[in-house]
């Protein structure tokens, strides 16, 4: 489904991508070594990397590879509005980051927005199942046909690629889809008119 306010969704998605490029530019130009602020597995000092890791990339190639998935999935995930997207993104960000911190090899530092991309994709693929929406299921079928090959990234296999980030980002997306569907059902139930003579709990 296309976001209700496509222009706003496009601006938010584009702004996030621009932010990623500005951060990478600062990392290249300034002697800051920002990548060391990524997620260092099972290190208390590296736990704050959960906040920063999706904004950081190992190099330009890493960022280029993430650009289109991040831009497209972020845009589509705003179908339920910006407020919902913020909650969904925060869920993916935290679940994905903590999963990486808990399960990645010791002394490794993980950076990159691919966990967010996997999380948004998973959210888009399963939300129709939880909400029982034919329109959302139709979008999921199209996305699966176009981007389904990405899902192999949740399995180990490619050296230097954090499959943990992909796996737990996707898990965060599934959790976010369930939470959104549950909240929507609760809202609809509260908004439904009560029959005459019924009592509220």
Task: State pLDDT tens for residues 136-150.
Answer: 999 899 999 999 999
Q: Which residues form the domain of 23? A: 6-187
Residue 20 inside a domain? The answer is yes
Number of domains in the chain: 1
Residue 200 inside a domain? The answer is no
Q: pLDDT value at position 149?
A: 93
Q: Left, alpha or beta for 167 (phi > 0: left; psi -120 to 50: alpha)?
A: alpha
pLDDT band at 93 (very low <50, low <70, confident <90, very high): very high
Q: By the 8 A CB rule, do 198 and 121 touch?
A: no
Q: Which whole number is the average pLDDT over 40-52?
A: 95
Residue 150 inside a domain? The answer is yes
Q: How far apart are CA 200 and CA 118, in angstroms?
A: 41
Residue 117 inside a domain? The answer is yes
Looking at every residue in the chain, the average pLDDT score rounds to: 91
Measured between alpha carbons, how far is residue 80 from residues 33, 93, 111, 123 in Å?
37, 18, 28, 12
Q: pLDDT value at position 197?
A: 52
Residue 195 inside a domain? The answer is no
* pLDDT above 50 for 57: yes
Residue 67 inside a domain? The answer is yes
Q: How far apart are CA 65 and CA 55, in angstroms?
A: 14
């Amino acid at each position: 489904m296309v976001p209700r306010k496509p222009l706003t969704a496009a601006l938010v998605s584009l702004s996030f991508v621009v932010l990623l490029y500005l951060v990478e530019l600062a990392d290249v130009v300034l002697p800051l070594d920002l990548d060391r602020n990524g997620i260092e597995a099972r290190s208390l000092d590296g736990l704050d990397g959960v906040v920063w890791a999706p904004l950081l990339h190992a190099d330009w190639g890493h960022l280029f590879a993430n650009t289109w998935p991040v831009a497209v999935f972020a845009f589509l995930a705003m179908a339920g509005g910006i407020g919902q997207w913020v909650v969904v993104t925060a869920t993916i960000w935290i679940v994905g980051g903590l999963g990486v911190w808990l399960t990645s090899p010791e002394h490794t530092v993980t950076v990159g927005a691919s966990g967010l991309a996997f999380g948004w994709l998973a959210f888009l693929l399963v939300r129709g199942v939880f909400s029982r929406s034919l329109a959302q299921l139709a979008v999921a079928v199209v996305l699966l046909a176009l981007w389904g090959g990405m899902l192999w990234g949740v399995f180990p296999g490619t050296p230097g690629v954090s499959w943990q980030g992909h796996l737990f980002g996707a898990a965060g997306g599934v959790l976010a889809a369930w939470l959104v569907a549950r909240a929507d059902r609760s809202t609809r139930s509260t908004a439904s008119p009560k029959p005459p003579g019924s009592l509220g709990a």
